[in-house]
Amino acid sequence: MVSWKFWRRQPIPAVKAEKSDRGFLFFQSTSEVIRAEKVLKNEGWPIRVMGPPPEFRRGCDLVIEFPLLAELKIVGTLSAAGVPPLQAVPVSGPLLEPVNLFHIKDFGSFLMVRAANMKLTIDKASQVIVNISGGGCPDVPYLALEMVGKTLSEAPKPCHIGHTLCGYALQLAFEEVQRQCS
């Protein structure tokens, strides 16, 4: 028996600063954004991972929205952590919201979660990742190679070895599977 349900991720608390007080940090690659996000969240900064404005889009991009008044401290923190941003730019228009809708499909013995274009399927009893599908960036086959056949606790997290938006989407699916199994 297969069943479907939808799940909306808990909204990320919005940055409390006024729109004109927000900026975004631009990095060399998506993997650097993922590392910077981890550093800043561990330090408790009210930041969000977002899509860049059109003039900065190349095809597979993320930026970090941050309170502009804290630029010096945040850039310093990131530089000390080895992930200095290329540029800090004031926000002048709306940034793109990452997907926050999950599709969950129950196959009986298996559970599949889709976040954006990425799907992750596990064996419910063993918690072994049995398949990863979807996506179009080149780290998707690499992530599948590294993760399929391992349990949720053994598998490397996509945020640690992924480099693209597809990798980031897989991290969201991974976290949702963990939540479903907890």
Give the binding site for other proteins (CB under 8 A): 2, 6, 8, 29-31, 51, 57-61, 96-101, 103, 105, 107, 109-110, 112, 114, 116-117, 119, 121, 123, 130-145, 148, 162-169
Closer by beta carbon to other proteins, 70 or else 137? 137
Shortest CB 33 distance to other proteins, Å: 12
Shortest CB 152 distance to other proteins, Å: 15
Q: Is 139 helix (H, G, I), strand (E, B) or coil?
A: helix
Write out the two tokens for 112: 């599949």
Write out the two tokens for 137: 């960036």
Closer by beta carbon to other proteins, 22 or else 119? 119
Quote the strand ranges of the chain, DSSP E: 3-8, 22-26, 48-50, 63-67, 87-90, 101-106, 110-115, 118-123, 129-134
Shortest CB 80 distance to other proteins, Å: 23
Closer by beta carbon to other proteins, 25 or else 137? 137
Shortest CB 145 distance to other proteins, Å: 5
Shortest CB 22 distance to other proteins, Å: 18
Closer by beta carbon to other proteins, 21 or else 29? 29
**Strand duo 22-26 + 87-90: pairing:** antiparallel
CA 33 remoteness from chain centre: 9
Alpha-carbon gap, residue 172 to 31, rounded angstroms: 15
Closer by beta carbon to other proteins, 48 or else 77? 48
Write out the two tokens for 170: 């897989």
